[in-house]
């Protein structure tokens, strides 16, 4: 799997939905990110020109919100909860097992083949299921509950079968 080339037509399609106005920057960026799974660098000058705003403003919005990513992400995004309940019930060994199995680290969060991204989140809102993690990219997104590190390889096998 490789990073798809940027297509300005994607921005045009999203702008048709939300309108070419400066108040639509967030949904436009969300639409572009939905297509690419991140915001390619070409997005900023393209959106700025089409909305008649500065590139710095578009970039500022994209970097302000944690939900936007400027780095390519994997097909499957694994969000390991490290909220209080999950942390106390040992979510970090699950995180370390994912990283070990996928050859990732705290700084390298996406596999080279763009199959998996592993990241921590402050809380999934599933404290009674602790320790939990969520996988996005499958249909539908799925929350795994009461997970132990021994279960991680089986989950990865399940996801690899869907690649």
Task: Name the binding residues for [2Fe-2S] cluster.
Answer: 81, 86, 123, 127
Q: Does residue 138 contact residue 163 with C-beta atoms inside 8 Å?
A: no
Fold (topology level) of 76-161: Glutaredoxin (3.40.30)
99 pLDDT more than 80: yes
Contact residues for 57 (Cβ-Cβ < 8 A; gap 6+): 22, 25, 48
Give the per-residue pLDDT at 108.
95
Structurally, at CATH architecture level, domain 8-64 sits in: Orthogonal Bundle (1.10)
Strands 133-136 and 76-81: antiparallel
Task: Name the binding residues.
Answer: 81, 86, 123, 127
Q: How far apart are CA 9 and CA 88, in angstroms?
A: 47
- pLDDT classification of 137: cutoffs 50, 70, 90: confident
Residue 21 CA neighbour count, 13 Å, CB half? 5
Strands 76-81 and 116-121: parallel
Sketch the domain layout of the chain as residue ranges.
8-64, 76-161
Render pLDDT for 29-83 as a digit per residue (tens, 0 to 9): 999 999 998 999 999 999 999 999 999 999 999 999 988 999 999 999 999 999 9
């Amino acid at each position: 799997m490789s990073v798809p080339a940027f297509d300005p037509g994607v921005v045009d399609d999203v702008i048709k939905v939300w309108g070419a106005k400066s108040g639509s920057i967030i949904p436009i960026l969300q639409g572009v990110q939905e297509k690419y799974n991140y915001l390619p660098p070409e997005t900023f000058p393209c959106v700025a020109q089409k909305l008649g705003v500065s590139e710095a403003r578009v970039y500022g919005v994209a970097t302000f919100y944690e939900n936007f990513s400027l780095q390519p992400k994997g097909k499957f995004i694994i969000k390991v909860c490290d909220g209080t309940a999950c942390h106390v019930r040992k979510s970090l060994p699950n995180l370390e097992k994912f990283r070990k199995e996928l050859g990732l680290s705290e700084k390298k969060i996406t596999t080279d083949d763009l199959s998996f991204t592993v990241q921590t989140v402050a809380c999934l809102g599933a404290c009674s299921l602790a320790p939990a993690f969520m996988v996005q990219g499958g249909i539908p997104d799925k929350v795994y509950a009461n997970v132990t590190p021994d279960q991680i390889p089986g989950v990865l096998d399940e996801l690899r079968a869907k690649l």
